[in-house]
Structure formats: C-alpha cells, structure tokens
C-alpha cells in the first residue's frame, strides 16, 4: 500500500507542475498576442503612464517578457508559483486580495457541490436500480431514454429553463399563495444567506443533473452484469430472500464503480459550478469566476482557475488512493 | 475446393476470377459467392448492415442531415433575410408569417435560428476533424513505437487532463481579444485532442497483440504497411464513435462559451447568442425568444449523441 501511494504521489508532482505551466503559458501567449490587459481596462481612454505602470506592478503584469510573443516567461512562472505557495494570489481590479474573496465564497460552492452529489447518488442510483432490475421493461426504457435526453441538454440551457420555470413562475405563484417561507426560499430566484441550504437546492440539482444520467446508466449496467455473477447464483441457491440477494449481494458489489465515479465527479462539479452559479447568481467561487470572465479580469481568472485545477487534481489523487484501498487489484498492478 | 482442376478453369481457387476465364465461369463464381451464407463480412460492412436497419440511427441521421443543410444552404429553409429587422416590431410574439416571433432587434426569429446553426456546426466539424486527425496520429505513434515516444505523449495527455474543459476554454478565451470562429475552434482543439489520443492509443495497443499483426510482422511487412493496412482500419472504430458523440459535445461547448460571454459575439448569429439574449427577456414573458433556440440546440446535440450510440452498438460486437 505504501509503495502504491508513493508512486501515485511521484506521478502527481510532474502533472501538477505541467498543468500549472500549461495555464501559465497559454495565458501569457494570449496576453502577448493581444497586448496589455491593464491598458484594456481603460478602453479608449489614455491614463497617465505612471498609473498604468503602478497597476501593472500591482497585478504582476509588468514583466517585459509579456511583450515578447512566444516567450514562455519562465521567470514569471517561478515567481507566480512561489507567490501562490505563500498564499498570495494577487488582488482583483478593485484591490481586494483574491485569497480573501475565495475564502469567503468557498463555503457556498461547497454546499452547491454537496447538494449536487446527494442528488446524483439518490436519483441516479435509484433510477439505475429500477432500470437494472427489470431489464427491457417499461422503467428501463424510461430511464434509458430520459438519461440520453438529459445528457443532450447543455447545463446552461437546463439552468436557464429551470430558473424561469421554478424560480419565476412557480416562485411568484407561491408568494401569492402565502406559502410557508421554507418553500418560498427553495423556489426563489435569488440566493438567500438566511436559507443557505434551501435556496441552493435547485441550483445544486441542476449542477448534478448531467451526472444523474451517467450514474443511472453505470448503476444499471453494473447491476445487470452482477446479476448473472456466480456469487448471486450461490446466494439464491442457499435460499436467501430476494430482498437480501438484491440488497446485500448484488447491489453492494454493483456500487463500487458508482462510488468511484462520484469521487471523480466531485472534482468536475467544482468546475461545473462556474456555469450554474453564474446563471443562478450565487456568490460562490464559480460566480466569482463567471463575473471575472465576463468582465475580462485576467489576473483574477488566472488565480482562481489555478486553484480550481489544483483542487481538481488533489481530489483525483485522493480518489485514486482510495480506489487502491478498496480494490487490491489496482494496488498490485 | 478439393475437386480436381479442369483445363481452362481458373485453377484450384476458382473463386478467384483469373484472366482467360470464360463468361459462364465468371457467372457461376459470382453465384457461388452470393449464395454462400456464412460469408465473413468486414467490421465495417457488418456495421453498415446493422445501421441501415436501426431506426434510431436513421432518425438521428435525418436530423443531422437537416442541420447540415441549414449550415451549407440556409436559404433552402427560409427566404427571409435574418438581418432584415424592424425595430418597431421588437420581441413580437409568434404570428402567422413569423412562426417563431421576432428578436430584440425585430428580426425574424425563425430565420435567425436557421442561420444560427452555421457557427455551431462549423466549429464542431472543424474541432472534431482536427482532434480526430491529431488523436489518431499521436495515439498510433505512442502505441506503435512505445518507449520514450509513448512516455512523452502520455505525460502530455496527463497534463491536459488536469485542466477541465470549460474552465480551460473560459480561461484562454477570456485573455484573447479575438472571438472569431477560428479562435474558439483553436482553443477547443488545443484542449480536446488528448481524449482521442488516449482512446486511439488504447485501441492500437489492443490490435497490436492480435495474431494477424504478428503474422504481418513475421512476413517482414514494413512499419508503414502494418500501420496503414492492419492497425488503422481495425483500431479506428472507437475514434469514430467518440468523434460522433463529440460533434454534439462541441456544439454544446460552443453555445456554453458563447452564453458565458467568451465565445462568439454579435453581429454573428448563433444559438448561444440567441439563448443568452432570450434568457433576459423570457423572464418578462417573451418566452419564444428562449424556447426556440434552446429546442434547436437540444435536438441537434441529441441527434449526434443518438448517432454515436447507434454507431457504438454497431461497431462493438462485445455489446451484442
């Protein structure tokens, strides 16, 4: 086990450095091709050169290599990484440290992701079991068709449609009917910091919708496969009840790939939150990135994306290590 | 063919029509071929045989065909100029002459939706073609030559896999000034080629262990002959399946990036732009501005995914 973890950690370091360098190199190239993002902030106006210079130093955009197209800016890369290591992620165009912004917004995103994961697990596994137990039955066709359909709807389209359907029409109607306040906060269009879980329920479900489809299919396939396995036949032959054969012997073994998928998906969900939080106007990390992207605040995006990618890689590493714990075949490959 | 050969026949292998064989012999050879039930069809002929009988494949390819004609010749679908607008008719609800209603600028929404197919489909086709070529090339190189070539290519794909797709595209497009079809395509290719490289690498490795590849090597075939005659035709099936599905994924990615404000921008007409404008106005009751572009986008993506599923069923005998 120790050797397996050590090897995964050794592989992890070059991948992290490579990913960070990729982000750094492509954004530098973009800046080199387009010219100064600080000047671009002022549009057609021409502020005094001293102001521009001051801001360039503030945003770490003063390095001369950013004006030489094709230069990989290695010095700047090393500077950036050492700043990040000390917890300094720069400031945004209003002078607030990015690290503070992230710290404040992080809990919100985490809640959205947790809701999405719970949605995936409950609805996805439930639908998959229904479909898998009666292969080629009505439930199976319904689940298969709706999961194909769900995958085809881009997340932002789903978000926009759901927001209008539940938030605007249903929400207004509920407010007119004098519904209980918890129901109103579920179906309101805005994030309410007093109802920090309830008002994130629908955005979280939208975020999880795409993976609900994948998880129901994965559960279905894996259940159908295991249903024919020898150990299930043995369990039946021993005369166990149907409930026990399905619940304990089949389902538990079928859920191993599903649990792995949920782990990997957690990393993707944090990134997918950018679109969902942007649409539902939620003040999380995703909303921060969304606003920074639409307003062209390059220093903020570079810092936030770097952090998101780091989290994504760490989550993947943890899933890999856990998978090694669960499945000895991986460990001793 | 164990019967003794007759003079004038094409030799023991009378199936092979050799020069000098008479017309009747040719005829009988063809008959014999057609009459044999247990003929070995190639992977691709087999797949074609299945596909033309699969209703899901037929429906989805009709939809794809419709979308492709919208891209190439939108005037087949509408006579109205999408940019002939009348500001006084802004956001008009659907009516007899304008079944989808009008846009914010008072243009005919139906014409705009038809013309809006072009950027999405052009980007999807460009990106898919480029990633398929790059993925096939690098995947085959990595699997065939192994050693340091494989190590370098695999580590590079690892690094790209660390960068989630939409986030990466968002980052690079937000520092680029250009929001043309070319810029968006280039970024999507840069982020997308690694997936097909991995798939092709795995597929080629599997085929390389087959007996016929060893036999070809034993017979002294050159690397190029092994790659083009044996590996490519047999290993490329998963790439074809994934490419078809990713056509849909790239249509969706383009619309997402445009919606986020980092993709295409007006005056370009595209589904992503129509949806992002419609989003704001649907709240005020102008539902048609949102629903119609969304429907076109969803149906197109769905058609590509269904087509990919049908291809996968036809090409992967293990699933049958």
For the stretch B182-223, pLDDT in tens is: 888 988 998 888 888 988 888 888 888 888 888 988 898 888
Q: How much is the pLDDT for A51? A: 73
Contact A294 B259 (CB under 8 A): no
Average pLDDT (A65-86) is 76
Read off the pLDDT band of A270 (50, 70, 90).
confident
Contact B260 A31 (CB under 8 A): no
- Taking the Cβ of residue B57 and every Cβ of chain A, the question of whether any pair is shorter than 8 Å is answered with no
Q: How much is the pLDDT for B19? A: 40
**By three-state DSSP, how is residue A188 classified?**
coil
Does the pLDDT at position B148 exceed 90?
no
pLDDT in tens, B155-171: 888 888 778 788 888 88
The full length of chain A comes to 333
Task: Pick the range with the lowest mean pLDDT from A206-215, B24-33, B235-244, B310-319.
Answer: B24-33
Contact B167 A309 (CB under 8 A): yes
Best-predicted range by mean pLDDT (A69-73, A145-149, B51-55): A145-149
A164 CA to chain B: closest CA distance, Å?
A: 6
- Taking the Cβ of residue B68 and every Cβ of chain A, the question of whether any pair is shorter than 8 Å is answered with no
Read off the pLDDT band of B21 (50, 70, 90).
very low
**Two structure tokens written together for B63:** 């939809």
Task: Pick the range with the lowest mean pLDDT from A163-167, B29-33, B40-44, B61-65.
Answer: B29-33
How far is C-alpha B94 from the chain's CA centre? Answer: 34
DSSP A58: H
Would you state the torsion angle of the CA atoms of residues B154, B156, B157, B163, taken in this order, to the nearest 10 degrees? Answer: 150
Contact B175 A19 (CB under 8 A): no
Q: How much is the pLDDT for A59? A: 67
Comparing A93 with B235, the larger pLDDT belongs to: B235
Give the closest residue to A276 by CA, choosing from A157, A136, A178, A138.
Answer: A157
- Taking the Cβ of residue A313 and every Cβ of chain B, the question of whether any pair is shorter than 8 Å is answered with yes
The whole-angstrom separation of Cα A181 and Cα A174 is 9
B-facing residues of A in 249-288 (CB < 8 A) are 267-268, 271-272, 274-275, 278
The whole-angstrom separation of Cα A131 and Cα A140 is 4
ipTM above 0.85, yes or no: no
Q: How much is the pLDDT for B317? A: 58
Average pLDDT (A250-265) is 83
DSSP string, A307-319: HHHHHHHHHHHHH
- Helix then strand count (H, E) for chain A reads 17, 0
Name the packing angle between helices B165-175 and B237-260 (round to 10°): 50
Q: How much is the pLDDT for B129? A: 93
Does the pLDDT at position B13 exceed 60?
no
Task: Pick the range with the lowest mean pLDDT from A142-156, A173-187, B19-33, B215-229.
Answer: B19-33
Task: Pick the range with the lowest mean pLDDT from A64-68, A157-161, A205-209.
Answer: A64-68
Q: Compare all CA atoms of chain A with the CA of B260 and give the residue at the minimum distance.
A: A294
DSSP string, B141-200: HHHHH-HHHHHHHHHHHHHHHTS-HHHHHHHHHHH-S--SHHHHHHHHHHHHHHHHHHHH
- Asked if residues A39 and A53 have their Cβ atoms less than 8 Å apart, the reply is no
pLDDT in tens, A282-298: 888 888 888 777 776 77
How far is C-alpha A271 from the chain's CA centre? Answer: 3
Give the closest residue to A267 by CA, choosing from A333, A204, A314, A235.
Answer: A314
Read off the pLDDT band of B75 (50, 70, 90).
confident
Q: How much is the pLDDT for B198? A: 87
Give the closest residue to B60 by CA, choosing from B310, B315, B298, B318.
Answer: B310
Read off the pLDDT band of A122 (50, 70, 90).
very high
DSSP bridge partners of A91? A97
Average pLDDT (A206-223) is 88
Q: How much is the pLDDT for B175? A: 75
The whole-angstrom separation of Cα A262 and Cα A32 is 40
B20 CA to chain A: closest CA distance, Å?
A: 57
**Two structure tokens written together for A252:** 């538990």
Q: How much is the pLDDT for A280? A: 84
How many percent of chain A have pLDDT more than 90? 4
Q: How much is the pLDDT for B33? A: 46
A-facing residues of B in 170-189 (CB < 8 A) are 170-172, 174-178
How many percent of chain A have pLDDT more than 70? 88
The whole-angstrom separation of Cα B176 and Cα B171 is 9
Phi, psi for B108 (deg, rounded to 5): -70, 120
pLDDT in tens, A22-72: 888 878 877 777 766 666 666 666 777 777 777 777 666 667 777 677 677
How many percent of chain B have pLDDT more than 70? 80
Contact A275 B302 (CB under 8 A): no
Q: How much is the pLDDT for A329? A: 65
Q: How much is the pLDDT for B36? A: 45
- Taking the Cβ of residue B297 and every Cβ of chain A, the question of whether any pair is shorter than 8 Å is answered with yes
pTM of the model: 0.81
């Amino acid at each position: 086990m120790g050797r397996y973890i050590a090897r995964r950690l050794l592989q992890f370091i070059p991948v992290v450095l490579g990913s960070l360098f990729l982000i750094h190199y492509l954004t530098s190239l973009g800046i080199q091709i387009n010219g100064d993002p600080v000047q671009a902030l002022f549009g057609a106006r021409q502020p005094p050169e001293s102001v521009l210079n001051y801001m360039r130093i503030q945003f770490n955009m003063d390095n001369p290599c950013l004006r030489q197209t094709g230069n990989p800016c290695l010095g700047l890369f090393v500077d950036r990484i050492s700043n990040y290591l000390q917890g300094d992620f720069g400031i945004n165009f209003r002078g607030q440290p990015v690290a503070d912004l992230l710290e404040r917004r992080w809990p919100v995103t985490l809640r959205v992701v947790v809701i999405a994961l719970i949605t995936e697990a409950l609805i996805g596994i439930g639908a998959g079991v229904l479909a898998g137990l009666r292969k080629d039955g009505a439930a199976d066709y319904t689940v298969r068709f709706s999961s194909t359909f769900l995958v085809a709807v881009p997340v932002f389209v789903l978000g926009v449609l759901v927001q209008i359907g539940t938030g605007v029409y249903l929400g207004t109607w509920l407010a007119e009917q004098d519904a209980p306040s918890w129901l109103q906060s579920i179906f309101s269009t805005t994030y309410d910091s007093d109802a920090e879980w309830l008002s994130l329920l629908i955005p979280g479900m939208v975020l999880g919708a795409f993976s609900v489809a994948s998880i129901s299919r994965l559960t279905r396939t894996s259940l159908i496969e295991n249903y024919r396995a020898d150990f299930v036949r043995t369990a039946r032959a021993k005369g166990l009840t149907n409930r026990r054969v399905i619940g304990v012997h089949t389902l538990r073994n079928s859920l191993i790939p599903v649990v792995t998928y949920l782990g990997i998906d957690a990393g993707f969900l944090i990134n997918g939150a950018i679109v969902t939080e942007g649409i539902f106007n939620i003040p999380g990390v995703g909303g921060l990135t969304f606003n920074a992207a639409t307003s062209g605040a390059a220093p903020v995006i570079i810092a936030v994306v770097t952090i998101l990618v780091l989290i994504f890689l760490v989550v993947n590493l943890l899933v890999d290590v856990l998978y090694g714990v669960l499945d000895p075949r991986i460990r001793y490959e | 063919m164990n019967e003794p050969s007759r003079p004038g026949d094409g030799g023991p292998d009378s199936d092979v029509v050799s020069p000098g064989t008479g017309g009747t012999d040719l005829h009988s050879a063809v008959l014999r071929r057609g009459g044999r039930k247990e003929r070995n069809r190639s992977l691709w002929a087999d797949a074609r045989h299945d596909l033309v009988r699969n209703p899901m494949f037929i429906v989805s390819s009709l939809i794809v065909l419709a979308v492709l004609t919208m891209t190439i010749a939108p005037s087949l679908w509408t006579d109205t100029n999408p940019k002939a607008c009348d500001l006084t008719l802004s956001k008009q609800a659907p009516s007899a002459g304008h079944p989808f209603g009008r846009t914010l600028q008072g243009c005919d929404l139906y014409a705009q939706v038809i013309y809006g197919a072009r950027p999405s489909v052009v980007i999807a086709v460009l990106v898919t073609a480029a990633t398929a070529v790059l993925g096939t090339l690098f995947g085959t190189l990595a699997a065939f030559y192994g050693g340091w070539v494989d190590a370098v290519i695999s580590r590079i794909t690892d690094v790209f896999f660390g960068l989630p797709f939409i986030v990466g595209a968002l980052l690079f497009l937000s520092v680029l000034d250009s929001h043309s079809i070319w810029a968006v395509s280039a970024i999507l290719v840069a982020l997308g080629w690694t997936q097909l490289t991995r798939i092709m690498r795995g597929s080629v490795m599997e085929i390389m262990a087959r007996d016929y590849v060893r036999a070809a090597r034993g017979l002294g075939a050159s690397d190029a002959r092994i790659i083009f005659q044996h590996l490519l035709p047999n290993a490329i099936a998963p790439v074809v399946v994934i490419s078809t599905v990713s056509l849909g994924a790239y249509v969706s990615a383009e619309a997402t990036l445009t919606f986020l404000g980092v993709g295409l921008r007006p005056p370009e007409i595209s589904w992503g732009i129509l949806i992002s404008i419609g989003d704001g106005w649907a709240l005020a009751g102008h539902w048609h501005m949102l629903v119609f572009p969304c429907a076109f986008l969803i149906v197109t993506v769905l058609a590509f995914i269904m087509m990919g599923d049908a291809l996968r069923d036809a090409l992967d005998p293990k699933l049958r």
